Structure 1
Amino acid sequence: MASRPDQTWIRRWLSGLGWGSSPAPGAPAAPAAPTAPTAPTAPTAPTAPAGPLRLNLALQGGGAHGAFTWGVLDALLDQPGLQVEGLSGSSAGAMNAVLFADGWLKGGRDGARRSLESFWTGVGQQMPWGLLAQHRDDRVGLSPLGKMLYRWSGIFSPAQLNPFDLNPLRDLLVSQVDFERLRRHSPFKLFIGATQASSGKLRIFREHELTVDMMLASACLPRIHHPIRIDGEVYWDGGFSANPPVAPLFYDCESRDLLLVLLNPLLRHGVPHTRPEIEARITELAFTANFMGEMRLLVQAIQASRAAPAGRLEQGLQQLRFHMIDTRELAAFQQSDTKLLAYGPFLEWLRDLGRERGRAWWGAYSAALGQRSSIDVEALFG
């Protein structure tokens, strides 16, 4: 007779991520189907979902590539029957989550759309022309000067390259986000990730405490930016510890539908050979390894919960429904140096790609919301 799976998988996953001491999540009335089929490649013609649908969004960071997520969110805002409960993110994912919430607070769906557009337009105006180069095939990338400065960031510290701690992102956030009002009246639950530099531990900043420094901590690349100190602790980019955070969307939200918006491909084909290719892959792995580990532990917890006594925690795990929008087969995401390309037309192009993919996802899989997963999460992350 097969032994019962060890329930400690579930508790270990939650406690290891800092969520084991909170009350168990509320379970929806109707459980989801037990299987999570792989999403088909060609969209069918689904019937429109009846009534409002609540969804949680986990937004991955990736520098300028975060403009793709801008487009995805813009597409989701077109759906009047869709309601968002919680958003999580690190780095660019955090920016998108907070701008989405702040804009919604100011003007509903249209306000969220305007807020995202204004922020990314501002980002696109920050890059000096001298750091850009146009290639023969009309692609835009870093100029030799831009690449040299990027290499210097691996030799010199931010204190040497930027002794006055100039940070245009701070000015942009202060001018666009009403943090005081957002802390008091956020329309969504927010989970913003940052990494404690001394320990590597993840810290989640919530909507009721958000400050501009917490946002900058979530996007603090230590080779480029001065460290951000909060409550006496130094913080670096949240992508080092969770990109994006997933556990809080399960543990602190009631909705069981979770949409992953991913900028880094889950699989790279081929082996990097040149030094720039190797360095790019090392950086990419550093920003995805913890997310992959978190998802694998979550899958193991779901599997263990099926044979465990049906408590609220186990029911909540079994009722999770996963969905995903990613950047597979998009050539723009094969070049890591374009993550630094904060160039207006390039960002708008990424937005258009994200909007197109978001609309395609909605047309193909919106009928799965509230019913089943639209990806095979066990095959992808188990």
Structure 2
Amino acid sequence: MAAETSHTLNLALQGGGSHGALTWGVLDALLDDDGLIFEGISGTSAGAMNAVALAHGFAQAAAQEKKVDDARYLGRQLARQSLRELWEGVGTMGSVGKMFWAAPLPGSKQFMGVLNQFLSPYQTNPLNINPLRQLLTRVVDFETLAHPEHPSVVPKLFICATNVRTGAGKIFKGEQVTADAIMASACLPQLFKAVEIDGECYWDGGFSGNPALYPLIYETRSRDILLVQINPKESDVSPDTAREIMDRMNEITFNASLLAELRAIEFVVKLLEQKRLDPERYKHVLMHRIDGGSVLKPFGASSKVRADMGMVRKLFELGRERGQQWLQLNREHLGVKQTLRFNENRG
């Protein structure tokens, strides 16, 4: 799609298991816009997988085209191909439970939920089988990604994982973005053994930054950050079953760090608008959001560990529709004003 004006922005991609297919749809719509240039991408868990697949497409293009504009044009096409290959691969895996059980068990979702309260993945998955790693290394050439021909063409990546020892978030960037880093960012401790990198063990980045916004503020020039949020902000009902309570607890946990960062950004923006802070020292961030939580509610939290092709394609279409709607309503505001309403994040 031809664009009248060109805009540089950053992307912040939240994790959420197979619901990340909705983010794939959003990205596909954004990549359709020739005028959007992605400077940086922060991603966690499924968001990290989306981020690295997208960046891989641009890295491939940078290796094939000498001119920056040509590389960016080709990069959009190759990024869309990489994302499609990634999620169609996920769609062939079915339920995460099938990684551990040779045959389906009656009530297997509930059974796995109960089992994980008493057994760790060191017992239920002693060989640490994770087919996502094989898929990822087939789709992404991490060596090309680490050393692109035109660095300005390839978005900077910021991948968040949680240090098990300290509880702090770790941002992997540049040459640190490897298959291990992506697996660390997506390592749910109930399902997989901690990922060890340079002597430290890591779990899912959702515990500490889902996604982390601060790298986009401090390490890029663009003021615009587009957040793709797929974890529900609100619940329409008060959960009363054990499963519903656990699901809502997880949703709140995996949104907590993001909400804290959004409140901090709101505070700084207000002070800048009141001329109480030096704009030379503090960036006036323009936040935008595509909220997929409401669209995903009918699927339920349990579907995050389910990834049949039908669901993946449905989520892709819903995400693409969301992305197109956002562009129609908000593209003109890029570089001018923020479109996210901070008061939507208050309790």
1:153 aligns with 2:116: yes
User: CA shift at 1:73, angstroms?
Assistant: 0.2
Higher helix share: 2
- CA radius of gyration, larger in: 1
Contact 2:60-2:144 within 8 A present in 1 as well: no
- State the SS of the aligned residue for 1:57: strand
State the match for 1:104 in structure 2: 58
Residues in 1 aligned to 2:96 and 2:267: alpha-carbon distance in whole angstroms: 49
1:193-243 deviation per Cα after TM superposition (whole angstroms, max 9, x unaligned): 000011110100003321111110000000100110111111000000000
Aligned residue for 2:338, secondary structure, equals coil
Q: What secondary structure is seen at the aligned counterpart in 1 of 2:175?
A: coil
- How big is the shift at 1:329? 3.3
State the match for 2:71 in structure 1. Answer: none
Residue 359 (structure 1) aligns with: 324
Equivalence for 2:335: 370
How far residue 50 of structure 1 moved from its aligned partner, in angstroms, is 4.2
1:335 to 274, 277, 300: 300
- Cα deviations across residues 303-332 of structure 1 (Å, max 9, x unaligned)? 233342424123x23xx2111101243254
Question: Partners of 2:170 and 2:296 in 1: how far apart?
Answer: 33
Deviations 1:313-369 (A, max 9, x none): 23x23xx21111012432545611010012111011000000011001111111111
Structure 1 contact 74–113 (Cα < 8 Å) conserved: yes
Q: Is the 8 A contact 1:227 1:234 kept in 2?
A: yes
The aligned amino acid for 2:278 is A
CA offset at residue 63 of structure 1? 0.1
Q: Which moved more, 1:102-111 or 1:353-362?
A: 102-111
The runs of 5 or more residues in structure 1 that have no matched partner are 1-47, 132-141
SS at match of 1:329: helix
Distance 2:93 2:3 in 1: 41
Matched AA of 1:312: E
| Counterpart residue identity of residue 92, structure 1 | A
Contact kept, 8 Å, 2:95 with 2:307, in 1: the verdict is no
Amino acid at match of 1:285: I
Q: Deviations over 1:119-161 (max 9, x none)?
A: 1111111126996xxxxxxxxxx96224322432222111111
Greater Cα offset, 69-78 or 163-172: 163-172
1:1-382 to 2 correspondences below 5 Å: 50-107=4-61, 108-127=75-94, 144-185=107-148, 187-305=154-272, 306-314=274-282, 316-317=283-284, 320-332=285-297, 335-380=300-345
Q: Distance in 2 between matches of 1:52 and 1:129?
A: 41
| Cα distance change on mapping 1:145 and 1:188 into 2, 3 Å | same
Report the residue type matching 2:333 in the other structure. A
CA contact (8 A) 1:67 1:120 kept: yes
Deviations 1:15-40 (A, max 9, x none): xxxxxxxxxxxxxxxxxxxxxxxxxx
Give unmatched runs, 5+ long, in structure 2.
62-74, 99-104
- CA–CA separation in structure 1 for the residues paired with 2:204 and 2:141: 22
Q: Which amino acid aligns with 1:326?
A: D
- Equivalent position SS for 1:267: coil
How many residues matched?
A: 322
Q: After superposition, what is the alpha-carbon deviation per residue over 1:165-185, rounded to whole angstroms, capped at 9, x for unaligned?
A: 111011111111111111111
Residues 90, 242 of structure 1: 8 Å contact kept: yes
Aligned 8 A contact 1:49 1:367 in 2: no
- Normalised by the length of structure 2, the TM-score is 0.88
TM-score w.r.t. length of structure 1: 0.80
| 1:289 CA drift (Å) | 0.8
What is the RMSD computed on CA atoms of the aligned residues?
2.0
